[in-house]
Amino acid sequence: MARGLSREQSQQKNIKKTQAGNKGNQEGLSATQRAERDAKILQEKAAAKAAQREALAKQSPDGAAAVAEEEKRKQAARQAKKERLANSTQRSCASTNRRSFFSD
C-alpha cells in the first residue's frame, strides 16, 4: 500500500512540474507568424508616433521646434552609439594598445 501512495504522489508532483514548465508559446503560432504579428504591431506604433509628431509640428512653431530638437537629440545619440561600438571592438582596442606600446 505504501508504494502505491508514493507512486501517486510522485505522479501528481510530476504533473505539477510539467504544467509549470509549459510557459512558452501559448497562442499556438509558429515563429514566423509571431514575427509577422510583432512586426505589424511595431509598424502601427511607429505610424501612431509619426502622426503624433506631425500633429505637434503642425500645431505651432514651438511644436515644430520641439520636434526638430527631439530629432537632433536622437541623431546625436545614434552617432554616439556608433562611435562607442566602433571604439569597443577588439580591432580598435588592439590598435590603441599597439600605438601606446610603440609611443613609449
Residues sharing a CB contact under 8 Å with residue 63, sequence separation 6 or more, in sequence order? 56, 57
pTM of the model: 0.48
Q: What is the mean pLDDT of residues 22-45?
A: 87
Q: What is the pLDDT of residue 26?
A: 72
Q: What is the pLDDT of residue 62?
A: 87
Q: Where are the domains of the chain?
A: 74-104
Contact 27, 34 (CB under 8 A): yes
